[in-house]
């Protein structure tokens, strides 16, 4: 198995060593967060680097039993799942329609969608539009504005265009309509790109918090990311004179949450989305490649 020549051995050794080191560099931050989140709070303040010190899961138990966290966990999950399903389906179907020559103004419509990739109205117009659409304090704010994403439409349309026309024609001859063709032929054939979009969108949805901050104040619609952000922001806020004045005047108060609480939230926030990658990865790589080559 091993190549006979010594410099090949050397190369492989160095190569492996390099990549193992590289992999460790990637994994260690996560590992660090993990061991800190399951260690004794006092030990954490002193620094935990290799193994968990004073192993306990109290923080997780406490965090997950807090209503805020569990509610926001479900909100984030719901937006990731519902949002992704709707986005993937809508982008796919819309892209399919764009490939149909019979669709009126399809080029203009397509260009309008592509333009959104380059031009952005800014925060205030976005805020006003969402408010006028009645999306303020609504779960649909998380879903509807991103139902059609220009980037996904380009990827999808390019992919559909390179599917041999014969496939579709054969079905049409058999009497299939647009919906049947889309559901039974186009969508199944496009699975690689669908998987790509799914991963992209699920990650985006899971990580989003701006819409929540600006437009949703309902405690039952808080996303996990914003909850996490609030915990993390506490120490940043201290850099401001006002907050320090606030604290200086207070005789007591526990404003800053302990380090291992922050670590635990970080874990709770990152773990679910990490699980998506392994399942989607094989499609993901293939999908990106296909889209890229034909683009």
Q: Rule CB under 8 A: which residues touch another protein?
A: 42, 45-47, 67-68, 90, 93-94, 97, 100, 102-104, 109, 123-124, 127-128, 131, 133-141, 143-144, 147, 177-179, 213-214, 217-222, 226, 230-231, 234-240, 242-257, 259
Q: Report the nearest approach of another protein to the CB of residue 239 (Å).
A: 5
How big is the chain, counted in residues? 295
Q: Report the nearest approach of another protein to the CB of residue 135 (Å).
A: 6
Q: Report the nearest approach of another protein to the CB of residue 98 (Å).
A: 9
Of 172, 43, 35, 49, the residue nearest 100 (C-alpha): 172
Closest CB to another protein among residues 5, 101:
101
Taking every pair of Cα atoms in the chain, the longest distance, rounded to a whole number of angstroms, is 81
Residue in the block written with tokens 């108060």: 253
Closest CB to another protein among residues 104, 278:
104
Q: Report the nearest approach of another protein to the CB of residue 97 (Å).
A: 6
CA quadruple 264, 270, 272, 278: dihedral, nearest 10: -130
Closest CB to another protein among residues 8, 169:
169
Q: Report the nearest approach of another protein to the CB of residue 255 (Å).
A: 6
Closest CB to another protein among residues 60, 283:
60
Q: What are phi and psi of 250, to 5 degrees?
A: -80, 135
Closest CB to another protein among residues 15, 240:
240
Of 72, 158, 70, the residue nearest 114 (C-alpha): 158
Closest CB to another protein among residues 13, 58:
58
Measured distance CA(155)–CA(290) in Å, rounded: 9
Closest CB to another protein among residues 186, 199:
186
3-state secondary structure (DSSP) of residue 213: helix
Measured distance CA(83)–CA(245) in Å, rounded: 42
Q: Report the nearest approach of another protein to the CB of residue 7 (Å).
A: 41
Q: Report the nearest approach of another protein to the CB of residue 233 (Å).
A: 8
Closest CB to another protein among residues 233, 282:
233
DSSP calls for 13-79:
HHHHHHHHHHHHHHHHHHHHHHHHHTS-HHHHHH---SS-SS---HHHHHHHHSHHHHHHHHHHHHH
Is there a contact between 105 and 179 (Cβ–Cβ < 8 Å)? no
Residue in the block written with tokens 């009126």: 104
> Residue 264: CA atoms inside 13 Å, Cβ hemisphere, count?
22
Is there a contact between 276 and 202 (Cβ–Cβ < 8 Å)? yes
Measured distance CA(289)–CA(280) in Å, rounded: 14
Q: Report the nearest approach of another protein to the CB of residue 238 (Å).
A: 6
């Amino acid at each position: 198995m091993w190549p006979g020549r010594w410099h090949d051995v050397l190369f492989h050794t160095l190569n492996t060593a390099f990549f193992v080191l590289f992999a460790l560099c990637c994994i260690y931050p996560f590992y660090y967060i993990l061991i800190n989140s399951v260690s004794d709070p006092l030990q954490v303040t002193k620094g935990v680097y290799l193994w968990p010190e004073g192993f306990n899961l109290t923080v997780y138990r406490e965090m997950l039993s807090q209503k805020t966290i569990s509610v926001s966990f479900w909100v984030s999950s719901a937006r990731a799942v519902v949002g992704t399903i709707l986005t993937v389906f809508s982008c796919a179907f819309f892209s399919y329609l764009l490939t149909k020559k019979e669709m009126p103004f399809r080029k203009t419509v397509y260009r309008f969608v592509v333009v959104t990739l380059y031009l952005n109205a800014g925060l205030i117009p976005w805020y006003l539009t969402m408010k006028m659409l009645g999306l303020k304090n609504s779960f649909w704010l998380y879903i509807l504005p991103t139902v059609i994403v220009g980037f996904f439409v380009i990827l999808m349309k390019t992919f559909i265009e390179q599917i041999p026309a014969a496939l579709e024609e054969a079905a049409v001859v058999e009497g299939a309509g647009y919906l049947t063709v889309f559901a039974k032929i186009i969508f199944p054939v496009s699975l690689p790109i669908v998987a790509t979009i799914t991963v992209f969108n699920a990650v985006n949805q899971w990580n989003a918090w701006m819409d929540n901050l600006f437009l949703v104040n309902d405690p039952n619609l808080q996303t996990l990311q914003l909850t996490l952000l609030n915990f993390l922001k506490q120490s940043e806020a201290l850099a401001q004179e006002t907050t320090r004045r606030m604290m200086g005047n207070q005789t007591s108060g526990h404003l800053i949450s302990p380090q291992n609480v922050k670590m635990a939230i970080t874990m709770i926030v990152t773990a679910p989305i990490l699980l998506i990658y392994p399942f989607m990865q094989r499609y993901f790589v293939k999908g990106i490649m296909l889209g890229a080559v034909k683009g």
